[in-house]
Amino acid sequence: MHSTRILLAQYGGAAVLTALLGGCTVVCPVPPASAQVVMAPPLPAPALAVSSADGPRPASPPRAHMDPNAARHLYRLDFNITGTSLGTGGALAGAYTMNLEENRNGEIHSGMNVPITPGGNARMDVGVKIKATYAIAGDELLLDTDTELSSVDEPSGVHKLTARSEAALVPGKPATMLASIDDPQGKKRYLLTVAATKIR
């Protein structure tokens, strides 16, 4: 927006107002000396438009209000661990369930606290440990798990199997395999599967 400067000059009985922008000249009579000249208050300065080489820059849209208390997605995760004795076909099964919100960490511990040294001075939790977290990606859950299977070996010692796995789950679909672990010492094969069900 351009500004306009007005020059006032008096010639004889008239005043000449010259607008520098546009080159126009307006001649008007000079008021008598007894007349009172009332000056109009200055107009407020116009708002300046922010511009760039590509043209005017649009005003930034208002930011969306993020509610920290908004409900997260909640799913039930059903884990199943099957241990099959290699060469005999015998099977052992364990089912474990947790309800978990998106981007939260969940844990399941199942087992016993047992002595691992003579006299029981040192003890340790053995059994099954499952840690899980997930994020939503479209219609899938991207699941990240840590699984630990442990037991006490006689006379003193701990036998442990661990697996870290990732999987894409479709809620309501059949169970997905997370890991398969062969245990040569115990002559068993452990299979870990999981299924997801939406709660909210």
Placement of tokens 């115990």 in the chain: 186
Phi then psi dihedrals of residue 89, to 5 deg: 85, -5
For the purposes of burial, counting CB atoms within 10 Å of the CB of 196, is it exposed (0-12), middle (13-18) or buried (19 or more)?
Answer: buried
Q: What is the pTM of this model?
A: 0.60
Type of residue numbered 27: V
Residue type, 146: D
What stretches of the chain adopt beta strand conformation (E)?
A: 6-11, 14-19, 25-29, 51-52, 55-56, 74-85, 91-101, 106-115, 123-137, 140-152, 158-169, 176-183, 188-198
pLDDT in tens, the chain (200 residues): 444 444 444 444 444 444 444 444 444 454 554 445 445 555 555 554 545 455 555 554 454 444 556 678 999 999 999 987 655 444 456 899 999 999 999 999 988 888 777 776 788 888 899 999 999 999 999 999 999 988 877 665 777 889 999 999 999 999 999 999 888 776 788 999 999 999 99
Residue 137's closest CA among 171, 178, 179, 176?
171
Bond before 155 cis per omega within 30 degrees: yes
